[in-house]
Structure 1
């Protein structure tokens, strides 16, 4: 299982949802059994202790639950879409995925091309933002992206000239917390966003684990900065996608 926290600065509070993945090939070879069940109508998740029938399962309640039959498209439309829509209206938004290695965080956030229903949250956010731009009237947009990695308590710019250089975390009285010298890349289309994401993904630190032979071994933050210029005024706000 992996957990997703959706936080947007609007009248809606932050939400926490859970998505359960199916057994992988290694678990099937070991004859592992599924111990997780989900009641999507009540947003509840149940974990049954293996080998016991008398002990009741542990129960957890979330703002949303998605089982192995659900696709990323469903989760995005129900949970992430309102957040990204809020970003296009001028609010800051964050999607934060967390869980153990091999739980499927990258699969949900990055996604796969085929089937289209499993396209990741980040690429779907690209589509969402540029669809909004195309439909907007009397406004100009500036879209920039950054991609950083936190590995062994060091911050690296996955899109920088030197991806091995250690960056510093700073605090500014107006800007707040920021990473000094983190590169920003202007993007003009969904395709350019995808190329930037792919480039950064190739620069991530990876390593073999029993759960995932291509585990990223790090935390990464992909950020979309969206600025709107309208009738001589400018408002600027970033959307954070992890």
Structure 2
């Protein structure tokens, strides 16, 4: 996959994506006010009815318009992050935007067409493909899923998803949630099942933009513990996936 990201680099890249119009917007005959120059990574926003005003211009590290797929975004943006995680580095994808902006469309994705499969299921496939191809290496893969709702932390994979959990800070581990459910997974199918389980436990409510809008901030974490049996080296990498 194409990549210009150095493995293990400390850089933070900001990417903007414009999702396709949904069925509701098509029914209302909504018009696009956003355009992109994907080669220059620029976005242009026009003010409706203000023909004399120049569009607002913004520049990012990457831009993806409605005709570009999640597959392309993954190959160019997420692929090098996953590669880094399999080498013991931490990686994060932080999806941020208002209700209806397309966070779930990009991260969770849709089953059809296959090119719009989300970043998270693609990450599952990528990780287990890397595990199958690795030589003289053992992997332990674990996953957790939590949400932050009304300033309360909830375990979406726990027996009581309404229970409030606390945040703690460790000098070496950093910020963590004690007693957070961390499930061991052995296949893509298991990852998808626990993702679906947690997805059903989210706090949702209807909005004008989205009838199933999430009311919370969600964090899905994959932890890889890696043991190189030839060199007796053990290291781990975290891959965090945020929906905000």
TM over 0.5: yes
1:9 CA drift (Å): 7.9
1:21 CA drift (Å): 1.8
SS, match of residue 205 in structure 2: coil
Residues 134-185 of structure 1 deviation map (CA, whole Å, 9 limit, x = unaligned): 0000011000000000001000000001111000000112211101110100
> Where in structure 2 are the equivalents of 1:88-127 lying within 5 Å?
88-127=86-125
1:53 CA drift (Å): 1.6
Q: How many angstroms apart in 1 are the aligned matches of 2:26 and 2:124? A: 35
Aligned to 1:4: none
Aligned to 1:152: 150
C-alpha contact (below 8 Å) 1:157/1:183 kept by paired residues:
yes
SS, match of residue 18 in structure 1: strand
Aligned length: 236
Closer/same/farther in 2, CA of residues 73 and 142 from structure 1, 3 Å limit: same
Runs of at least 5 residues in structure 2 that lack an aligned partner in the other structure: none
Aligned to 2:177: 179
Closer/same/farther in 2, CA of residues 113 and 25 from structure 1, 3 Å limit: closer
C-alpha contact (below 8 Å) 1:8/1:83 kept by paired residues:
no
1:22 CA drift (Å): 2.7
Q: How many angstroms apart in 2 are the aligned matches of 1:213 and 1:8? A: 40
Aligned to 2:166: 168
Closer/same/farther in 2, CA of residues 119 and 92 from structure 1, 3 Å limit: same
Residue 133, structure 1, aligned to residue 135, structure 2: no
Residue 44, structure 1, aligned to residue 42, structure 2: yes
Give the aligned CA root-mean-square deviation in angstroms. Answer: 1.5
In the superposition, the TM-score normalised over structure 1's length comes to 0.94
Aligned to 2:240: 240
1:26 CA drift (Å): 3.1
Residues 184-239 of structure 1 deviation map (CA, whole Å, 9 limit, x = unaligned): 00000001000010000010011000010000111100000001111333112211
Aligned to 1:211: 209
SS, match of residue 163 in structure 1: coil
SS, match of residue 14 in structure 2: strand
Residues 14-49 of structure 1 deviation map (CA, whole Å, 9 limit, x = unaligned): 100001123333333444321000000100000011
Structure 1 ranges of 4+ moved more than 6 A: none
